[in-house]
Structure 1
């Protein structure tokens, strides 16, 4: 169980690093506009907001990785639970207010990781 939970937490962290890159550095590119369903003009007008949002995704990734490498395993476990919970709350909120696909793209991996972390 521990190996599976570790792999899933790493995958959620990597996903949030990818979102950070899209929002902070690629927001106005066709790739990011397609991923987030934005127009060229909206992307230009909102790039500073997106960069800020990307930074928060980076904090989620950093917290998950911190939980994995924390020298006290029980504390690391609690950190992982906390940050996976944060990802889930963000996914539910995003799914209800922005795009329903966020529930599946971000929420489902976080939910699976949380389940395995809790079982570990």
Structure 2
């Protein structure tokens, strides 16, 4: 269970690294193709906003990656739980304000990983 939780955490971290790269470095080049409903003329003026969002996504990825290197099971669970909750809450907010699809991409995997983390480390420690 612990290995499966770590794989899920790693995949979620990789997703957030990709999102960070996209928002920081590819917003004006790939953004219009990915977000076709967003007016193309708004990508350039929103570059700084997207880069700021990308920075937050990189922090989420960093926290998740950090949790994978923590040897103490109690602290691993605490740090992983914290950052997975951040991802899940961000997904809920994004789903309600932008697109319900965000819940499937962010919230569902984060909740699955949370369950696996707690099953893999025991709940009584």
TM-score range relative to shorter protein: over 0.9
Gaps of 5+ in 1: none
- Equivalent residue, structure 2, for 1:47: 47
**Which structure is higher in helix share?**
1
Deviations 1:36-63 (A, max 9, x none): 3433211111000000000000000000
Could you tell me which runs of 5 or more consecutive residues in structure 2 were left unpaired when the two chains were aligned. 121-125
1:82 aligned partner: 82
**Distance (Å, rounded) in 2 between the aligned partners of 1:59 and 1:24:** 13
Deviating beyond 2 angstroms after TM superposition, the runs of 4 or more aligned structure 1 residues are 31-40
Q: Which residue is equivalent to 1:33?
A: 32
| Partner residue in 2 for 1:101 | 101
More off after superposition, 105-114 vs 61-70: 105-114
**CA distance in structure 2 between the partners assigned to 1:90 and 1:34 by the alignment:** 23
Please tell me whether residue 5 in structure 1 is matched to residue 5 in structure 2. Answer: yes
What is aligned with 1:60? 60
How far apart in 1 are the matches of 2:107 and 2:35? 16
Cα distance in structure 2, aligned partners of 1:75 and 1:87: 18
- TM-score (norm: length of structure 2): 0.89
Counting matched residue pairs gives: 119
